[in-house]
Amino acid sequence: MAYPLLINGNLVEGDATLDVINPATEQVFATCSRGSEAQLNDAVAAAKAAFTSWSETSIDERKQVVLAMADVIEANAAELAQLLVQEQGKPLADATGEVHGTAAFFRYFTTLSLDVEVLDDSEHRRVEAHRKPLGVVGAILPWNFPLLLLGFKLPSALIAGNTVVVKPAPTTPIATLRMGELIREVVPAGVVNIVADANDLGGALTRHPDVRKVSFTGSTATGKKVMEGAASLLKRITLELGGNDAGIVLDDVNPKEIAPKLFQGAFWNSGQVCAALKRLYVHESVYDEVVDELAAIANNTVIGDGLQQGTALGPLQNKMQYDKVKEILDEARQKGTVVAGGEVPDQPGYFIRPTIVRDVAEGSRIVDEEQFGPILPVIKFTDEDDALRRANDTEWGLTGSVWSSNIDRAYALANKMDAGSIAINAHAALDPSIPFGGSKQSGIGSELGHEGLKEFTQLKIINIAR
């Protein structure tokens, strides 16, 4: 039995199987168990049954379990990274970093507490704020960072005293299922359950009457379906959704200095990052030089199979996303000027070279939509207020950035950008201690940091009259 489900502490063969494709070869590299709705219900029942004892376990004991999980992940980092490369496509160095980053996120949450907060302790009353666990949490994961984004959800949910049912993305379930096999010996039965599907169980998990909270990372369109499914029972949700994140480059920058940082912000994981730099507004005085520097980096970037030494960027993760990005690229050639990349290599795999598009503006898909791929539109502006207006004129608001040699000037502009996280002279610098969440249609609630931990709790006030 390869890559079984984890249900109630048992490794369970799925009622069906699921073939997983390596996006660098377009060939099946592994077959895993695929759960049925009945098996999903079994997982929820196991989590519900385990909740009473787990929630009554002290937070210090729960932290020890999470630390043990982190140890297991790190001890098996090489194996998990290899699996990540083959199912997701990213280079091995990035996959290895993701595995160790996941363990680090687990460890971070063990440093936090949920102590009782005294709001008033006067002659007439004492008011306490307690943070209580919710119950069963459904954690629904995307395909771009299968393990790291589990690190956004699982450790905080567990430390808060909840039990969890994890549903990995159907195109990247392997590393998550293997992690379930590895942690089984250090986690009490039923506390963590993992059920893979063929994109057909998300609704059942979201609507399940015994699931008290759903934590979802993925597209805005699917996030709306999660919200709809949770509405009938008014269950808690955290939605970390898409973005069309803008960067604004002012006229006082050093193009050679910032270009590598801009490129990394846009093309990390082949642009398949919700918080990636997806629209770059550059002042006309430095526009040509910034474009040229980005084009030079793009032209020198090695793409290929993530297991091959020297590969900097891998393929798109799946054919659906690959086809979408190719459509956007075709239109970008018509509505802008491609100065680097733009090629779709004639070889197996979902590869697109990193592409820089200049002389493009709003009204084209590459500017107006979230491309979620290795294409960056570079848009010229003259007036800062106009650039700010254009950057904010979107239904999304996940992250943004401002680039300038004058921090005060950049800060003033950053403070007016409408997004959940704004960086100055960087883009989307994720840290487990910093809350992360979007505005507008980029999400509801926060993950990471103490705020992220509290999202997995119920606030309970005890008011004692004296």
Alpha-carbon span 244 to 328, nearest angstrom: 14
**CA 19 from centroid of its chain's CA atoms:** 23
CB atoms within 10 A of CB 58: 9
* 324 φ, ψ (degrees, to nearest 5): -65, -45
Q: From residue 175, how far is each of 196, 197, 350, 415 by CA, in Å?
A: 11, 14, 20, 39
Cβ neighbors of 204 (< 8 A, separation 6 or more) are 37, 40, 41
Please give, one letter per residue, the 3-state secondary structure of 402-428: EECCCHHHHHHHHCCCCCCEEEECCCC
Which alpha helices (H) appear in 126-272, and where do they start and end? 148-159, 174-183, 202-207, 220-231, 255-267
**CA 200 from centroid of its chain's CA atoms:** 21
**CA 194 from centroid of its chain's CA atoms:** 18
Cβ neighbors of 412 (< 8 A, separation 6 or more) are none
| Nearest to 158, CA basis, from 184, 182, 192, 181 | 192
CB 330 within 8 A of CB 6: no
The dihedral through the CA atoms of 147, 326, 361, 263 has a sign that is positive
Residue 73 is classified by DSSP as H
Tell me whether residue 32 is one of the annotated catalytic residues. no
- Which one of the listed residues 32, 274, 293, 455 is annotated catalytic? 274
Which alpha helices (H) appear in 313-457, and where do they start and end? 319-335, 365-368, 384-392, 407-414, 449-454
* 463 φ, ψ (degrees, to nearest 5): -115, 115
Residue 290 backbone zone (phi > 0: left; psi -120 to 50: alpha; other: beta): alpha
- Which one of the listed residues 98, 240, 370, 384 is annotated catalytic? 240
| Nearest to 153, CA basis, from 145, 130, 255, 372 | 145
Residue type, 265: G
Active site (catalytic) residues: 240, 274
